[in-house]
Each structure stands twice: as structure tokens, then as C-alpha cells.
Amino acid sequence: MDFKELEAHGLSFNQEGSIKLFQGKGCLKCRGTGYSGRIGIFELVPINEPIRKLIKTETDTETLRARALKEGMYTLRQNAVKKLLEGKTTLEEVLRVTWTHA
């Protein structure tokens, strides 16, 4: 699969070329799903001084999110895509979990 195909699914990258994605085959232990265990996908906001000030002033969510992104916040989708590229999850799971969190 190439990065252009992934972008067609709503995932953005600053790269070109192709990428190897993984898909579990399934077995009796995983009940044919191809998944074993769980892995967390998180959205993390660094609480530094600029973010702390916005929280204290009860700033609206959009402003807080915009500042958090500037301060290094990873969105749920960014974290899921990172795990996709590391081979820890599948494209289908990334889309399922992050569809409304683009």
C-alpha cells in the first residue's frame, strides 16, 4: 500500500512511496480475529504553563485544542497511525477507532 492510498482513507502523511502494513491471519486462540491482547491508543495533552493558563481561564475547547496541538499534543488518530506504521495494529482498526476523531 502506498501513502496516497492511506490518504484516501483520511490519514495524512508527509511522505511518499509505499509502506508495508500488517494483517493478522487469525487462529483458534484469537478466535480468527488476528488480534491478541490489547494495545492502548491515547490522546495526550502536555500540561505546561501556556496550557495551564488556558485551563484556569476556562477557555473554550477549540482554543484549548488548537494551543495543545501547537504545544506538542498527539491526537488519537496520530497515536493510532504511529502504531499502524510500527506494525502494532491494522488500518481497519485505526479507522474504526479514530473515525470520528480525525
Find the domain containing 22 and state its range. 3-101
First to last CA, the chain: 21
List, for the chain, all residue ranges whose pLDDT scores fall below the cut of 70: 1-20, 22, 100-102
pLDDT at 10: 62
Which phi and psi (to 5°) does residue 48 adopt? Answer: -110, -175
CATH number for the domain that contains residue 62: 3.40.50.300
Q: Give the residue ranges of DSSP H helices in the chain.
A: 3-8, 49-56, 61-70, 76-85, 91-98
The whole-model pTM stands at 0.68
pLDDT at 18: 64
Tens digit of pLDDT for each residue in 18-35?
Answer: 666 767 777 888 777 777
Q: How many structural domains does the chain have? A: 1
Say if CB 48 and CB 71 are below 8 A apart: yes
